[in-house]
Structure 1
Amino acid sequence: MTFALGPRAAKAGYGLVAFDQAGSTNAEALASARRGDTRRSWFVTSEQTAGRGRRQRPWIAPRGNLASSVLEVLSVAPAVAATLGFAAGLAIETALRQVSLEAALRSGGRASFALKWPNDVLADGRKIVGMLLEAEQVAGGLAVVAGIGTNVVAAPPDIPTPAVSLADLGVQVTAEDLFSALSDAWVEYFGIWNEGRGFGDIRKLWLERAAGLGQPVAIRSGHAIIEGIFDTIDEQGCMLVRTAEGRLEPITAGDVHFGSVASQGAV
């Protein structure tokens, strides 16, 4: 099979650059923007050799997994652009639910998905998607790239959070089928986001699918650990943690651990 945009994405005028193999689809998207190509476009591959996640952690996609990045050139402030990551989470979670349901109708494999703050998707409690949002000023505006890496056939064994693939869960789909669903879902949630004006609606939808809401949580940020209850996310996308003293602590970044791991101090 070859990669193809979904019908909604094609109608919306998105471009598509597909690679047999790529170092990093995010890097390819940013390079395109630097060259002056500001068309909204997807950059995809089923084998990524030099991808990266937050804090420059490697994110390698062996052949059969999906590495995808969408480029949007916007006239918004970087702080507003940062909230686009929540729309990306909703888009891939929606696509995963769609292909999982279709697979279940064919052969029975199905999974339950949830969004983990700030930029992961969990399947039955294990990491199946990692996302990385990057932005850079270019001639046409702010080039924003949402990178979305999904474990379709294999999951990396050496990451801090236990990971899983669709194949592990018995969901038999291809990276190409998942991408088609993702590109269409992106059109929907990018439209709702509406250059940040619709983040209130995105926030509500995200919270409906959030992992760990109302549960004990520990966030490691540098050498500090903040513990409490995951209360909500605010209008800027920060996690709000209610501490034992009843104070709401805003979290802008960090490694999040829920449940029993949280009680052990996020080790």
Structure 2
Amino acid sequence: MAFRLAPTSVSEGFRLEAHDSVGSTNTLALDHARAGDPGRLWVVSKRQESGRGRRGRAWVSPEGNLAATLLVITGGELRLAATLGFVAGLSLADALDAVVPKSRIAVGLDGASQGQNRFELKWPNDVLASGAKLAGILLESAILEGGRFAVAVGIGVNVVAHPAELPYPATSLQALGATCDAETLFLALSDAWSENARLWDEGRGLAAVRRRWLARAAGLGGEVAVRIDGNVVRGVFETIDEDCRFVIRDGEGSVLAIAAGDVHFGAVASAQV
């Protein structure tokens, strides 16, 4: 099966560029933006040679996994465009729910709340299954002429393989017993993106996105440790605020809103991270 867009996505003017292998779908999308592409372009591949995650970390994507980037061109506020990562997380979780049989995935996150969601969202940019990282999301931007900028919404999913020897648990759909392939997952993702992007509504619907995200949040109400520039802050994960910052209450009762950091749950949160 070849990559293709959902009919809803096509009707809304989205386009598709599919590759057998790429260096980085984010890099390719931003190159298209600098060359004048108007956006609403999905760049997808089943193999990515030089993908990257947050903070410059490598993102391994061997043959059969999904690397997908949506190019968004906007003249709005970059602060609001940054919340597209939450739209991406919701869209991917919705797509996974649609294509993975319900009997395949068990839910369980060490030290965190046990919800009914098979696929949970870990702030700010991960999708978890059975408490392990299944997918990552990376937003990158570039300034364009005329006061506009491009946002590459990168989504990487471990479909057939996941990296080993990581400091956190990781998994793949295949390891979880699911038989969904990258093409089927992308078809559902392109459909789910259209729905959640309409809800987001150029940032005007961020409050609704935030509510939906919290309903899928991993670790809500549980002990967390957040590494921020080499320092570790510990507390209880209470919510994300109206700007989608991570809000915790520390041992002294103080409430902290964190804009960027690496989050650890459960036993990992209790240990030195």
TM-score (structure 2 length as normaliser): 0.93
Matched, 1:113 2:88: no
- Paired position in structure 1 for 2:115: none
Query: In structure 2, what is the equivalent of residue 174 of structure 1?
Result: 181
SS at match of 1:227: strand
- For residues 25-55 of structure 1, the C-alpha deviation after alignment (integer angstroms, 9 at most, x for no partner) is 0001000000011131100000001000001
What is the CA RMSD across the aligned residues, in angstroms? Answer: 1.1
Match of 2:43 in 1: 43
Q: 1:142 aligns with which of 129, 149, 154?
A: 149
1:81 aligns with 2:81: yes
Cα distance in 2, alignment partners of residues 198 and 159 from structure 1 = 36
Which of 218, 221, 231 is the aligned partner of 1:214?
221
What is the alpha-carbon distance in structure 2 between the residues aligned to residue 154 and residue 46 of structure 1?
12
The residue number in structure 2 matching 1:70 is: 70
C-alpha separation between the residues in 1 aligned to 2:259 and 2:129?
A: 24
Cα deviation 1:163-191 (Å, max 9, x = unaligned): 10000000001100000000010001111
Q: Distance in 2 between matches of 1:173 and 1:206?
A: 24
Please tell me the residue identity of whatever aligns with 1:146.
V
The offset of 1:110, in angstroms, is: 3.5
Letter in 2 for 1:232: T
C-alpha distance in 2 between matches for 1:167 and 1:158: 18
For the pair 1:257 / 2:268, whether they are aligned, the reply is no
**Using the alignment, how far apart are the partners of 2:98 and 2:126 within structure 1?**
18
Counterpart residue type for residue 39 of structure 2: R
How far off its partner does 1:10 sit? 1.1
Task: Tell me which residue corresponds to 1:198.
Answer: 205
Provide the residue aligned with 1:125 in structure 2. 131
Q: CA deviation at 1:145?
A: 1.2
What is the CA deviation profile of residues 52-91 of structure 1, one whole-angstrom value per residue up to 9, with x for unaligned ones? 0001100021000000000111121111111111011000
AA aligned to 1:110 is I
- Secondary structure at the aligned position of 1:244 is classed as coil
TM-score, structure 1 as length reference: 0.95
The 8 Å contact of residues 36 and 139 in structure 1, kept in 2 or not, is answered as: no
Are the equivalent residues in 2 in contact too, given 1:109–1:172 (CA < 8 A)? Answer: no
Summarize deviations over 1:1-33 as a string: whole Å, max 9, x none: 210001111111101010110000000100000
Tell me the distance in 1 between the aligned counterparts of 2:88 and 2:174: 22
Gaps of 5+ in 2: 107-117
- What SS is found at the alignment partner of 1:49? coil
Partners of 2:153 and 2:2 in 1: how far apart? 22
| AA at the equivalent of 1:113 | F
- Is contact 1:42-1:69 (8 Å) kept? yes
Q: How many Å separate the matches in 2 of 1:77 and 1:158? A: 39
**How many residues in Structure 1 have an aligned counterpart in Structure 2?**
261
Structure 1 residues 71-122: Cα deviation after superposition (integer angstroms, max 9, x where no partner): 1111211111111110110000100111113xx5xxx533521000000000
Structure 1 residues not aligned, in runs of 5+: none
Letter of the structure 1 residue corresponding to residue 104 of structure 2: G
* Residue in structure 2 matched with residue 34 of structure 1 by the alignment: 34
Distance 1:203 1:39 in 2: 25
Residue 183 of structure 2 aligns to a residue whose secondary structure is helix
Question: Distance in 2 between the 1:252 and 1:163 partners?
Answer: 24
Q: Does 1:164 align with 2:159?
A: no
Q: Aligned partners of 2:39 and 2:234: how far apart in 1? A: 43
Bigger shift: 71-80 or 196-205? Answer: 71-80
Please tell me the residue identity of whatever aligns with 2:140: E
